[in-house]
Amino acid sequence: MSVTRIARGIYLIDTAPQVLPRAVACYLVRGERGAALIDVGYRSTHPQVLSALRHIGVGPRDLKWVVLTHVHLDHCGAVAEVLERHPGANVLVHQRGRRHLVSPEKLIESARSLFGDEALRRMGGLGSVPEERVGIAEEDGELDLGGVSLRTFGTPGHAPHHVSVLIEPHRYVVTGDAVSSRGPRFPEPLPDT
């Protein structure tokens, strides 16, 4: 587990630092009224993510939101496990990604056809999320966490359902895979979701 404090109340959680440092990261944002986690990493790395949240001091009732930049397994894979441990939290995702969280079978089969059985096993797949816990990340939607807010906006390209998240008042942007300057390359095109 690797946790880096970026600013007051903002942490980068490196989900697999021993494999590809900072290639698969999620971000915790804490406000006065609760916390939000932006992306969750692979399902297979959920123990590291949950450990990092405990290390930062985020208890089961503190996490209010999980915001997903898109529904590729390196960004959404651990969502069911994170929500299971944080019963007061809900997830926000682009409307096109919602169905894949509720019924992930098509997404899992698409990943299997692209990466193969062994890679999918290492990624861990994706557990289903109860429909009532999945909300839509609206264009210019805002989550007020108390003293800090998250604003979502569409950034299609890497995926047609991709959103980025502006953290105010810090003016930091979590771009998911909308912007990349380095890191591993995957075969193109990725399956449409």
Cα 40 from chain centroid (whole Å): 4
Task: Quickly name the fold that domain 2-174 has.
Answer: Metallo-beta-lactamase; Chain A (3.60.15)
- Quickly tell me which residue has 């630092």 as its tokens: 17
Q: Interior CA angle at 14 toward 12 and 17, to 5°? A: 150
- In the chain, what percentage of residues exceed pLDDT 70? 89
Q: What is the mean pLDDT of residues 139-157?
A: 91
Q: How confident is the model at residue 190 (pLDDT cuts 50, 70, 90)?
A: very low
pLDDT in tens, 93-135: 999 999 999 999 999 999 999 999 998 898 899 999 999 999 9
Host H or E run for residue 174: strand 172-174
DSSP-based three-state secondary structure for 85: helix
- pLDDT score of 152 more than 50: yes
The pLDDT assigned to 189 comes to: 43
